[in-house]
Structure 1
Amino acid sequence: MANVVAARKFGGMISYNPHDWRSHLLDIRGSMLPEIMGRVALCVGWSVLVTAAHELLPPWIHGFSLSVPSTVHTLIGTALGLLLVFRTNSSYDKFWEGRKLWGGMVNECRNLARQATTLLTAAPELQRELILWTASFPYAAMSALRGAKALAPSSKDLPQADVGAVLAAQHMPLAVAQRISRAAVTARNRQVISDQMLMLFDQNVNLLIDYIGACERIHKTPIPFAYMVHLRRALILYCFTLPFVLVEPLHWWTVGGTLLVAFVFFGIEEIGVEIEDPFGFDENDLPLERFCQTIEGNLLAVMDPAEPKPWPTSGNGDEQN
């Protein structure tokens, strides 16, 4: 039974130097351009038709002037800008909350490993089991958020019957947490640790469950449907009526003006869509697989400090927490 992360290529946060404009200014990957290209092209094509009709056909053919005053469009544009800012800010709040939750998960896994190595020295087999299950918790959390079934590579050293039961569980993170608690309770029953020490382990496990629950709340709660639909309808109406406002003062430059406005507005909206659920495979999502590898490497190193463990590198400091 497979117990490693699926072979599918994971997405994740793109590393870049914020001080260097030249290295990423023309990048396509992660820039939202592929996602919005079709919508922008439709707006530009429509602006070409409107401009051609205005410039090349005499007014008596289309029966009325294609140019309209800009007053109403300006007012709508102001409201639309505020809506886009609110949309993006709401999405970034979810992105940043997700990052903080995974940082907390990193810390609690390290706390569990620290407690195990200091409090369970009299029961090395339980110490090893608790640390290995703790190393698998972030993998189980990542799999639950991504609709997969996988545990840490180091889970091969755990009882395979338990590994199979966890992989078949309805909620994998909860099943892993149960086994962490079971190892701590077994240590208490053997009088390796006291009731007070057991409570320390239980507090850390409770926090892990709280973190994955909060991540699931973010994952399963998109922006309200009515807000999303109204914003997109307003965007379409604004961008497709823009050529009628620009055609009189700009003439053929209307095509370029429409291109710029559509690119900016559709891009902002698409950024909000991509980052509102930061646990997926998109280029701007959180690098969960790197977080999992970091936790596993830390815990295996604590469990066996004599054996050097590889440290995952990313180039942007995300390996810490």
Structure 2
Amino acid sequence: MITYDPHKWLDHFFDIRGSLVKEISGRVLICVFWSAGVVYFDKNYHDVNISSLLHTLVGLALSMLLVFRTNASYDRYWEGRKLWGGIVNETRNLVRQATVHLSGERDLVVHLAQLNVDFAAACMYHLRGAKIAGMLESQHPPLTIATQMTFALQEARRRGAITDIILASMDQNVQLLIDYLGGCERIRKTPLPFAYVVHLRRALVVYCFSLPFALVDTYGWATVLDTLVISYVFFGIEEIGVEIEGPFGLDENDLPLEDICTTIRHNLFALVELEHSEPDKMPEGL
């Protein structure tokens, strides 16, 4: 993810990285060259002008389709971020409870903290379709790690460190971790309907490539510039939808999963260390 200050226009107004210019430049340039050919043919050989009314009406419908496309994609992006926020919270809650209820079993507390860190990393690699070193035989690494968390809680119950009620309460956090991962998998494995995406792209191509015929009589050679602007806007909006509909990848506009996993690791091990801090060494204000 690219961090930026939304109040400073000039700091990012001309940025290429993350702006999708590279992704759409080929389509836009083809439209521009095509429009130049249409204008040249119109002026030197035969009048090819058509009424602009059709493009006006189609442009309105196409704009609505693009709005729906970007809204649907952003909903997926934001839902993914909320689910990962849930993962962060549940790992904190689980280790927080462990530091209190298992205060006499430091080895289990550290083990649970490490499992939660491993779970977050496993979720990240799982959602990206990557293999995880040391777990090549596991069909579902995050689920395997979650199961190990439950085994650790059962071990704490066997030692008499927690009661059945506390075990059930802490295991509920593990269940929520699995639920949040399931939500992420739903986003990853369910793209936008194929028919909608194909129809929108066909409409975009037809609209942008037929646009010079509607503009050439009125704007002449300025049609080339008009086509450049309109195709850049329309193809750019569509590409933004493509970019953010799968928020768990490695693109520059995807969620910063590495940073989130790092935050989880720092938070959990700081909590484990805080548990064993002496009272007179606690930070002021606590």
Q: Normalised by the shorter chain, which TM-score bucket?
A: over 0.9
Match of 1:252 among 202, 216, 221: 221
- Give the Cα–Cα distance (whole angstroms) in 1 for the partners of residues 259 and 54 of structure 2: 49
The aligned counterpart of 1:89 is 71
Match of 1:188 among 152, 157, 177: 157
Match of 1:109 among 72, 83, 91: 91
Asked if structure 2 preserves the Cα contact closer than 8 Å seen for 1:279 and 1:286, the reply is: yes
- Give the Cα–Cα distance (whole angstroms) in 2 for the partners of residues 35 and 55 of structure 1: 32
- Give the Cα–Cα distance (whole angstroms) in 2 for the partners of residues 272 and 219 of structure 1: 14
Structure 2: give runs of 5+ residues left out of the alignment.
278-286
The aligned counterpart of 1:145 is 127
The aligned counterpart of 1:129 is 111
The aligned counterpart of 1:76 is 58
Offset of 1:82 from its aligned partner? 0.4
Structure 1: give runs of 5+ residues left out of the alignment.
1-12, 60-64, 152-163, 308-321
Could you report, residue by residue, the CA deviation over 1:153-174 in whole angstroms, capped at 9, with x for unpaired residues?
xxxxxxxxxxx3x453110110
Offset of 1:56 from its aligned partner? 2.6
Does 2:32 match 1:44? Answer: yes
- Give the Cα–Cα distance (whole angstroms) in 2 for the partners of residues 288 and 225 of structure 1: 27
Offset of 1:258 from its aligned partner? 0.3
Higher helix share: 2
Q: What SS is found at the alignment partner of 2:261?
A: helix
Q: TM-score, normalised by structure 1?
A: 0.84
Q: What SS is found at the alignment partner of 1:29?
A: coil
Does 2:178 match 1:178? Answer: no
The aligned counterpart of 2:281 is none
Aligned-pair Cα RMSD in Å: 1.2
Does 2:265 match 1:300? Answer: no
> After the TM superposition, which residues 147-162 of structure 1 pair with which residues of structure 2 at under 5 Å, given as runs?
147-150=129-132
Could you report, residue by residue, the CA deviation over 1:120-144 in whole angstroms, capped at 9, with x for unpaired residues?
1122211211111011111010010
- Give the Cα–Cα distance (whole angstroms) in 1 for the partners of residues 250 and 109 of structure 2: 34
Q: State the identity as a percent.
A: 56
- Give the Cα–Cα distance (whole angstroms) in 2 for the partners of residues 72 and 243 of structure 1: 13
Q: TM-score, normalised by structure 2?
A: 0.94
- Give the Cα–Cα distance (whole angstroms) in 1 for the partners of residues 196 and 73 of structure 2: 13
| Number of residue-to-residue matches in the alignment | 276
Could you report, residue by residue, the CA deviation over 1:179-218 in whole angstroms, capped at 9, with x for unpaired residues?
1110001111121100010011111000000000000000
> After the TM superposition, which residues 21-60 of structure 1 pair with which residues of structure 2 at under 5 Å, given as runs?
21-57=9-45, 59=46
- Give the Cα–Cα distance (whole angstroms) in 1 for the partners of residues 107 and 232 of structure 2: 59
